[in-house]
Amino acid sequence: MQATLTLPDRALSRIDIALGDLVLGTSARLVFAGVLFMYYWNSALTKVGDGVFGLFQPSASAYIQIFPQAVEAVGYDVSQLSIVHWAVVVAGTWAEFLLPVLLVIGLFTRLAALGMIGFIFVQSIVDITGHGVAEADIGAWFDGASGALIMDQRAFWVFLLLYLVFKGGGPLSMDRLLPNAKDVA
């Protein structure tokens, strides 16, 4: 009986040694690209203002998405918001463009994944407290339902990103081109 249980374990251990880094790091980045890249890219596009300097002059939509209650308090006149609001919106917009790109190409993968985890945490807090996401959409773990937007789906997003934080982007990443790449990728 013991041999029957250890045979698959030994076989998979050999495969893991031979292909684990290649398959898992690269697959995690590929899954991020296929599932979340366009979600974040399209969201970031809604925050960019008009013209050449749109990355420095966010749209009203950006303020509404990030600071819904503050924007409502000033009658939707975003010019009344502070420089701090502007800085947070600009930084958030840039992060929403930059971090997914870094993850997909595998450059500074661990740091970008950690940044995305922080981004998802802040996004979830804003969705719950600022936009008033319904309790059913927030969900709860161990409730038998697996489709809640916040607790269920975003837990998987964070798990995927945690893999990249701890294991890196794999050998098919731009991290391998950096000095001391063995420490990074």
- pLDDT category of residue 9 using cuts at 50, 70 and 90: confident
Rounded to a whole number of angstroms, the CA Rg of the chain reads 20
Residue 179 pLDDT level (bands cut at 50, 70, 90): confident
Taking only the tens place, the pLDDT of each residue in 54-113 is 889 999 999 999 999 999 999 999 999 999 999 999 999 999 999 999 999 999 999 999
Q: Is the pTM of this model over 0.95?
A: no
- Confidence band (pLDDT; 50, 70, 90) for 7? confident
Q: Quote the tokens at residue 5.
A: 């249980």
- C-beta atoms surrounding 88 within 10 Å: 18
Tokens 């880094």 locate to 21
The Cα–Cα gap between 85 and 125 comes to 16
Collapsed DSSP state (helix, strand, coil) of residue 177? helix
Q: Which residue bears the tokens 């050999």?
A: 14
Q: Which long-range contacts (CB under 8 A, 24 or more apart) does 131-136 make?
A: 131/68
**pLDDT at residue 185 greater than cutoff 60:** no
Helix (H) or strand (E) holding 24: helix 2-32
Kindly compute the dihedral angle of the four CA atoms of residues 151, 62, 106, 53, in this order, to the nearest 10 degrees.
180
